[in-house]
Amino acid sequence: MPHRDQEIALLRDELEMLMGERQSLLRVVGASAALIASLDSKRLPVGAVEAADMVATTINGLAEETLQDALSAVHAEIEEDSPAA
């Protein structure tokens, strides 16, 4: 049984480490999403627009729940553009 207890403790430690890494990644994604949403692409250099598009495309590929977790991790909300009148 002591060997099994060691394995359980190691798995618990690994899981805690992975959950900490997930939280860090969620904060990065949330901050990136908030930054991308606030950019005016017409005022950015071409290279920055291409980089922002790559980040936006990757973020848009996330599951909705994951994106919401990421935004919550940084206490951000993305406002949708209102239709032009």
Q: How far apart are CA 38 and CA 48, in angstroms?
A: 14
- 60 occurs within a structural domain: yes
Q: Identify the band that residue 2 occupies on the pLDDT scale cut at 50, 70 and 90.
A: confident
Q: How far apart are CA 67 and CA 74, in angstroms?
A: 11
Res 41: pLDDT: 87
Domain count, the chain: 1
- 42 occurs within a structural domain: yes
Query: In angstroms, how far is CA 83 from the centroid of its own chain?
Result: 27
Phi-psi region of 82 (alpha: psi -120 to 50; beta: other; left: phi over 0): beta
Q: Are 28 and 35 in contact (CB under 8 A)?
A: no
Q: How far apart are CA 31 and CA 83, in angstroms?
A: 25
Q: How far apart are CA 31 and CA 38, in angstroms?
A: 11
Domain containing 60 equals 2-73
Q: What is the pLDDT of residues 15-59, one digit of tens each?
A: 999 999 999 999 999 999 999 999 998 999 999 999 999 999 999
- 78 occurs within a structural domain: no
- 25 occurs within a structural domain: yes
